[in-house]
Structure 1
Amino acid sequence: MNPDGALSVLSAMITPAVLISAGGTLILSTSQRLGRTTDRVRSLTGRFKQLIGEGRLEPLAREEKRMIISQIPRLTRRVRLLQRALTSFYGAVAVFVLTSLVIGGGEVLGRGAASAPTLLGLLGAVALAYGSTLLIFEAQLSYRTTRREMDFLQQLGDHYAELYKQEREPDRS
């Protein structure tokens, strides 16, 4: 193999490595998002059990229970989207590694780079795009879930601010 050919093959093998790095970064951030979502489900489940155990019936306790119950399906969808995205990113990394191996192996075996590396590279890029699209949907779900919880917290704050105000005002009866 001449030096120019070896450099060309090495350069061609580095391109998938850059994409592998990008896939790795997406895997890391998606894994963290999945972990945080799972922790959130566990936290809400614990709070729900606590509310049930206390048997609280006042309107805010009922509203908090409704808020928790309404979040569980969204969190379940988020976990599913994150799991699919993570699987897609792992698949993309595997395809990019395979692409690099096909490029190097083809050169070592003297078969040159045919269309296989290009097709594999395209397949990996599609997997990255699919996983990223899933993350877009998951981010929207995350926003809606957080917004619902913030609305509840605002309602709770308004309730307690009103109670505090009533306690501070002198009795005018």
Structure 2
Amino acid sequence: MAIHEKELLEALSSSHILASMITPAVLISACGTLIFSTSGRLGRLFDRVNSMKSEVEGMLVGKFTLHEERLTHIRQQLARQRVRSILIQRSLAALYTATALFIASSLAIAFNVAFGSPETSWISTAIALLGGLFLFAASALLLYESRYNLTFINSHIDFIGFLENNCPKGDDTAPKPPE
């Protein structure tokens, strides 16, 4: 076996490689957790849009009263949900990008330990820092989305109060009287 091959095998079997790769692995795990919870947010948003669709269908068959008010409220809510879906999609894209960068950083660490030199060690750090920026951007988008969702919730609460005050006997599902 040539000397170069022996040095390569020693470098690859070094526990230093695995120890160096742990930090990006923790960040990859953090991104995975955020991706999972953000995907859940998107799923709940989809469910809410579907329930609004059912409300519109119910109005078309005469199941609900106050059609104009309900339609106006639903249009406003759909506009808010559209903004939320864009924010969530952008945050998911940033989280996936951060994950890819942390994986690339981990691989860059391994390659640098095996084949690189002290002069190239900055590459893995730069990649990890870029991943951190994407993770930060995703967190900022999710923070904004959660605050924006509060406008949806408050508007919905206000509309429920409106229905309580304007529907016959407090029943917002009372059918229209026959004509």
* Common fold by TM > 0.5: yes
- Which among 75, 94, 104 is matched to residue 98 of structure 1? 104
| Whole-angstrom CA distance in 2 between matches of 1:141 and 1:110 | 47
When the two structures are aligned, how many residues end up with a matched partner? 160
User: Which region of structure 1 is more displaced relative to structure 2, 43-52 or 108-117?
Assistant: 108-117
SS of residue in 2 equivalent to 1:54: coil
Q: Does 1:158 align with 2:151?
A: no
Q: Give the CA RMSD over aligned residues.
A: 2.3
Runs of 4+ with >4 A deviation: none
Structure 2 unmatched ranges of 5 or more: 1-6, 171-179
Q: Deviations over 1:112-158 (max 9, x none)?
A: 55111111111000000101111112112211111111111122223
Q: Deviations over 1:14-56 (max 9, x none)?
A: 0000000000000000000011101111211221122133286
Q: Does 1:12 align with 2:20?
A: yes
- Which among 115, 127, 143 is matched to residue 134 of structure 2? 127
Q: How does 1:1-173 map to 2 (within 5 A)?
A: 6-54=14-62, 60-112=66-118, 114-159=121-166, 163=169
| Whole-angstrom CA distance in 2 between matches of 1:82 and 1:6 | 41
| Whole-angstrom CA distance in 1 between matches of 2:52 and 2:96 | 29
Question: Identity of paired residues, percent?
Answer: 35
Structure 1 unmatched ranges of 5 or more: 165-173
| Whole-angstrom CA distance in 2 between matches of 1:34 and 1:138 | 11
Deviation at 1:62, TM superposition (A): 2.2
